[in-house]
Amino acid sequence: MSIFKPCIKNVETALRGIRRFFNETPLEKNTILSKHHGASVFVKHEDRSVVRSYKYRGAYNKMASLERGSRVVTCSAGNHAQGVAYSSGLLGLQADIFMPTKTTTQKIDKVLGFGGSNVQVFLEGDTFDECNAIAQHYCVKKKLGFVHPFDDIKVIEGQATVGLEILGSESEIDYLVLPVGGGGLAAGVSSVFRQLSPHTKIIGVEPMGAASLTTALANKGPLKLDKIDTFVDGAAVKMVGNLNYPLCEVGLDKVLCVHEGHVCSKILQMYNESGFIIEPAGVLSLCALDLLADEIIGKKVVCVVSGGNSDVFRMPEILERSLIYEGRKQYFRVEFAQKAGALKDFILRVLGPGDDIIYFRYTKLINRETGPVVIGIETRDKMAGIGLAKRMVEGGLVFEKLTNIADI
C-alpha cells in the first residue's frame, strides 16, 4: 500500500492556485446548534461554493497539473463531476465524465451546464463502484488520464485546503468533524490539522449503509463491501481509498456511523431551523453532534458541511425515511381475517387517538382464513408509536414490522 503525507507547502500552493478562481467558503458560528448542544458550533459551508461542494478543490488541483488541451476521464456520483466540469472550462481541458445511472437529473444538468462543450457525460452502472469499473476500462481503452474523485495525491492535497482555510479563521478548535466517503477530504484535512493543530480531536462520520472506513479499520486495511445503501450518494462507496486509509487511520481519533434516517431528520431540521438546503452527505458531520452530545459541551466544534446539491424531488423520500427513523411512521405486514369488519376491528383494537392509516395494501387469498395486509400508520410522536406493536401483541395479531422501505 502506498503511503504518503500531504506536505503543508504543497497544500499552500494548491490553495493559492484555487484562490485564483474560487472564493473562500464561509466558516460561521451556528447559534441554534451552539445553543442546542451547549457548545460553540462552527459550520464550514462547502455547500456555498460555486459548485456547492468541496470537490472542486481536488479536481482543480489535479487538473491544473496537466497539460492544457489534455483529455481526461473521471467517475463521480455528482459533486466531483461538477468540480471536474467547472475546472475543465477554466483550464482548457476536455473531460469524459462517467456517472451512475441513478444520479439525479439536477446533478447531471449542472455538470453539463458547468462543462459545456468541454465535457461528455456517460451514465453507467447502478453504484459508484460499478460506474468506476466501467470508467477505468474506458480510460485504458482510450489511453487517457484518470482524475480520481478521492484516491489521488493531488486530489487529496486539494481537499486539504479546507483545513488551511479553517485554521486561517479559527484557532483553539477542540473538535473537528469530517464526513467520510472515499476518504479524500478526511485524509487531507486531518493531515493538515495533525501538523498545525495537533490538540484538536478529529472525528470521521460515514453513513451506516456504506461504512467502508469502519470496515477497513476493523480489517486493518481497505476491504471492498459486498453491498451498500446508496441513499447518501455523496459518501456511498464500497471501499475507502488506498492512499486515504493510512492517513485516516492515524489522523482520525474516532469514526462514527450515522443511520440514513438520522441523515434525513437532520436535513429537515437544518432546513426548518436555519433555511439551509443540504444534501445527505453534507449533514453527516451535523448528525455526529447528536452522537457526541455529552463530549462536546463547552467545546469549540467545527463541522464541515460537504455539499448542498440536493434535488427537491428527493424530499418525499427524505421525509418518509425521517418519519420512520423517528418512530412517527411505521409499516407492518399483518395477517387479517378474511371477513367483513376485519379492518374496523383492527382500528378499534390497535389505533390510538391521533393515529392515522396512511397506507393500506390487501391481498385476498383463496381458501385461507387470513390474508396479508401491509399497513402504514402515522402517529403524533414516537411515544404514541411505541404502543402500536404492543396492542397488536395483546390482540393476538400475527404481524411483522417492516423497517426496509424497499419491502413496503
**Active-site annotation, residues:** 55, 306
Annotate the chain with three-state secondary structure.
CCCCCCCHHHHHHHHHHHHCCCCCCCEEECHHHHHHHCCEEEEEEHHHCCCCECHHHHHHHHHCCCCCCCEEEEECCCHHHHHHHHHHHHHCCEEEEEECCCCCHHHHHHHHHHHHHHEEEEECCCCHHHHHHHHHHHHHHHCCEEECCCCCHHHHHHHCHHHHHHHHHCCCCCEEEEECCCCHHHHHHHHHHHHHCCCCEEEEEEEHHHCHHHHHHHHCCCCCCCCCCCCCHHHCCCCCCCCHHHHHHHHCCEEEEECHHHHHHHHHHHHHHHCCCCCHHHHHHHHHHHHCCCCCCCCEEEEEECECCCCHHHHHHHHHHHHHHCCCEEEEEEEEECCCCHHHHHHHHHCCCCCEEEEEEECCCCCCCEEEEEEEEECCCHHHHHHHHHHHHHCCCCEEEECCHHHC
